[in-house]
Every structure is written in C-alpha cells, then in structure tokens.
Structure 1
Amino acid sequence: MTSQTAVPAIEACGLTRSYGGRTVVDHVSFAVEPGRVTGFLGPNGAGKSTTMRLLLGLERPDSGTALINGRPYAELRAPLAQVGAMLEAKAFHKGRSARKHLLCLAQSQALPARRVDEVLAMVGLTDVAGRRAGGFSLGMAQRLGIAAALLGDPRIVLLDEPVNGLDPEGIVWIRTLMKRLAAEGRAVLVSSHLMNEMAVTADHLLVIGAGRLLADCSTTEFIRRHTDPEVYATTPAVARPALLEEAFMRLTAHSAQFTAA
C-alpha cells in the first residue's frame, strides 16, 4: 500500500513578479503547513505583501504558481470556507456598519447569518456592531478585518501585519488567537515587523529580502543559525525576542530596500 503525501495548505512554487523592470518577488518557493503559526518576515519593500497577494490571486505572477490546498485560489469552491485573509485593515465600505459589512460577505458565500454574530463576539466588536465602520479606529478596523477572515471558519488564515494599531491588550489577544487557531490544526501565515511578537508566536519562519527567500525553518533553528552560539546556548528564554531581532538584522542587513514599491 503506497502512502499519499499530504498537500500543503499553502504552496508557492517559483513565484516571480516584477513592476517597471524591478523584480519584487524573485523565484520564491515555500510551503505552509497546518497546525502551526508561520511568521513571514522581511524588511520594508522585501516583497511580503506582494507574495501574499499572489497567493490569493490578487496579483498574477510573471512565472511560478501559488496554490491553496493544491489549487489556485480562483479555482476554489466556497473560498471563504477554505482560506480567510486580512491584507488591508480598512478594506470595507465606510458607510456600512460592522455587522452589515460581514453580513454582505456571508451572503456572498451562502454562509449563515448567525456566523456574523459569532465572529463579532470572537473579536470583541459585539457592542459596536451597529456603528459605521468608517468611524472605527485602526485597532477596531483590524479586529473587523480579522472577523471577516474568520467568517467562513477556514482551515487556512493569512494575516498581513495584524497587530498594527492594536493596544497591548489587543496584541496579547491576537497572539492568543493565532496560537489557538494553529492548535486547532489550522495553517496560519502572518506577516509582521515586530520581532518580539514573532519570537513568542511563530513556530516557523519564512524570511524574505529583496524579493528572495532567505530562510525557511523553525524559529528556534533560525535564532540558532544567525546568533552567536555561546549567547544562544546561555541566554534564557526571556531574551528570545532580542535574539530573533539580532538574527533577523544579521540575515537581512544587505537586502533592505528603501525605494518606493
């Protein structure tokens, strides 16, 4: 009896995308597995957001493929039930209430209306569900975006800088949420520039610089590889965020880009 290899939740195969002669994503390949939080790190302009848009079919690659559960996003049936994403915090109609925004999404995917109230409660927006979303703070908008990502109860979740605009309580909340989603067997891909959060949240890291994948390994292995062995061996776990920042800076020092994307 032959064993079948499980299809990765998310798979990038040789993704390449250029704009105006500048290559933003350069032959990037990786797989995101269920049951863990995968952190997606890179300097500003490294290609993180473009890669996530390629995965979701919002951009077309010049070459390569992006697959969700073994299929391009455009071929997914009931996509919100398979993958949920938040790429922009305020991607909603500013004149609609939070509940109406989510209800429109639910109706577009034949999801039950009760799910709207479930995710509003999950992200702590029940009391303001009737307010116009256009008046939300950035932190509240982030919570609404996460509610939209979770609306279909997907097994795959992509979040681009989800802690932007959140207060300390909100940061702890999103950290706990991502860990819980992974513990439930879901695949979580999250981009962030906050090393302290990734150090305590991400099980696995993908690091990109100047459009190229620089690292694809566990967080522990990444720190071990790119910090001084003596320091790594003797430093207590409380210093893990500082170690991750040091390792990240060492690896990406020559790939930071400061030109406009």
Structure 2
Amino acid sequence: MTSTTTFSIEAHGLTKRYGAKTAVDNLSFGVAPGKVTGFLGPNGAGKSTTMRLLLGLERPDAGTALINRKPYASLTAPLSQVGALLEAKAFHKGRSARNHLLCLAQSQALPLSRVDEVIDMVGLRDAAKQRAGGYSLGMAQRLGIAAALLGDPRVIILDEPVNGLDPEGILWIRTLMKRLAAEGRTVLVSSHLMNEMAVTADHLLVIGRGRLLADCTTAQFIERYTDPAVYAATPAVARPALLEEAFMRLTAGAVEYATR
C-alpha cells in the first residue's frame, strides 16, 4: 500500500487463528474506489475469513480491519456506508423478499421507498412477495445483492456473487459491478471464476494460505505470471483468457486442498 492512495477498505497485519490453523497470516492490503477489485485465492486461502474480519463478524488475533478508516463496529449507519453479500441465503426463510428488505431498512432508518428501488434493480419484482425460503440459489443471490445495495453504500463487498446465476444473471452482475465502480464506489469481489474476473476486475488481490501473493492490475498480473512464451504468442485481445494459467502458476504452492 502507498501513502498517496486513498483506500476505502484497509487491512493492516490481519491475523486470525483457529486453534493450530492460521487462516489469515499478517495480511495487509488496500482497496481503492473507482475500480472493481477481484479477491482471488485457492480454496482454504482465507478469503471468506478476511471478508468476515473486514465486516466485524470475526475478531482478529492481531492487526486491524478498516472501512472508511474505521472498524466496522464504529461505523454510523453501517448499511449506508458498506453493503455486503457473504452468504446468499442469510435471510428468514418464512419472510417474503420484500419483508426481509423492509426489516433491514427499518433497522437502519432507511427510506422505505428504497426497498422497491433495489427490488427492481435486481429483477425480483415479480417474486418480491413470495417466501424467500422457496427461492432458487440464483434468486437468493439477487436478494442478497439487493440487501447489500439497500443503503446506497459507497463500499460494496461481495463473496462469490455469481454462484447460481444463469448466463443472463452473470452478465447482469458483471455490468452492475462495473457501473458501481464507474460511479466512484469501492467494489471488492471474490470469485473462483477466472474467466469472469478477467473481464470484470480492474485490479487483483491474490492470497494463498492467508498470505498476500499479488496486488496489481489484472493486466500486470497476467503478464507477470503467465509463461513468457505463451504471453508473447497470444494476441493482446485474447490475453485476458490467460488469467487462469497465471493464477494456477502463482498459487501452485499455496493450494491446501489438492487432488493427487
């Protein structure tokens, strides 16, 4: 991190242990507004734990996690500052989508008109009065994104937001994230879909075994970690497709759950 860059999300020496296992290991990074930042790593790398630390859902054993230069617990009206999707089906299954969002809005003194705005934004108007417990995974993802955007926050954190979405839904969330970033918001998104990150993320944070492995633009990452001969032989327009190879080369020694 550089002193000249303003970050909306910051991690400073974050460490989190569960017994003998260190899930996050002295992790430091910053996420700037105005771009989509992809948060990548193999299974078990510590991505979800890091996001939970940023949002105050876990307490670090060492280090600090800041949103707009404050710990999440110190934020005033947090839903108006940061919106997050960590678990698609984190709602009362007996409530309708609209009632779920109404409860959230009332808890933060948000205008109730915002509920219908985000329902329309995520394409759930026709299903808004149905019990959310009957939603497919893709519909649940849309409801989770609606909840994340309810307070019109400047910081958005999304954990695997395209899970369960059909091709139209994937294109929609990609376009949405790019639009939010273009509005000057801070967008941090984790994903296992390298092809999707290649066309969505402007910047990448890559971790392995809880440690930072890379912090650079997507184009820089592909150039640095792709086989030089392959990179040179690939037309510039096709180089985003090399992200998966670059990711595999960098994280080969940090895979915790590997087949033999």
Per the normalisation by structure 1, the TM-score is: 0.95
| Structure 1 segment 186-201 matched on structure 2, within 5 A | 186-201=185-200
- SS at the partner of 2:152? coil
1:66 corresponds to = 65
For 2:31, give the aligned amino acid: V
Alignment of 1:19-30 (within 5 A): 19-30=18-29
1:67-104 Cα distance to aligned partner (Å, 9 max, x none): 00000000000100000000000000000000000000
User: Corresponding residue for 1:147?
Assistant: 146
Distance 1:104 1:237 in 2: 49
After TM superposition, give the deviation of residue 242 of structure 1 in Å: 3.1
d(CA) in 1 for partners of 2:98 and 2:236? 42
Structure 1 residue 5: Cα displacement: 5.5
Query: Structure 2: which 5+ runs fail to align?
Result: none
Deviates further, 131-140 or 235-244: 235-244
Show CA shifts across 1:150-189 (max 9, x none).
0000000000000000001100000000000000000000
1:135 aligned residue: 134
Shift of 1:6: 6.1
How many residue pairs get matched?
256
Q: How does 1:84-95 map to 2 (within 5 A)?
A: 84-95=83-94
**Could you say which residue in structure 1 is the equivalent of 2:54?**
55
Whether the 8 Å CA contact 1:205–1:216 is kept in 2: the answer is yes
CA apart distance, 1:234: 3.8
Structure-2 separation of matches of 1:131 and 1:237: 47
The alpha-carbon deviation at position 239 of structure 1 amounts to 3.1
Question: What is the CA-CA distance between 1:255 and the residue it aligns to?
Answer: 0.5
Instruction: Write the distance in 2 (CA, Å) between the matches of 1:90 and 1:138.
Output: 8
Secondary structure of the residue aligned to 1:16 is: strand
Write out aligned runs for 1:154-193 (5 A). Answer: 154-193=153-192
Cα drift, residue 236 of structure 1: 2.7
The whole-number CA distance in structure 2 between the counterparts of 1:121 and 1:233 is: 45
What is the percentage of aligned positions where both structures have the same residue?
Answer: 80
CA shift for structure 1 position 141: 0.1
Compute the TM-score of the two structures, normalised by the length of structure 2.
Answer: 0.96
Question: 1:27 is matched by which residue type in structure 2?
Answer: N
2:189 maps to amino acid: V
Q: Are 1:110 and 2:94 counterparts?
A: no
Q: Which residue of 2 aligns with 1:233?
A: 232
| CA–CA distance in structure 2, aligned partners of residues 195 and 242 of structure 1 | 8
Name the CA distance, whole Å, in 1 between partners of 2:47 and 2:169: 23
Aligned-CA RMSD value: 1.3
Question: 1:116/1:237 Cα in 2 relative to 1: closer, same or farther (>3 Å)?
Answer: farther
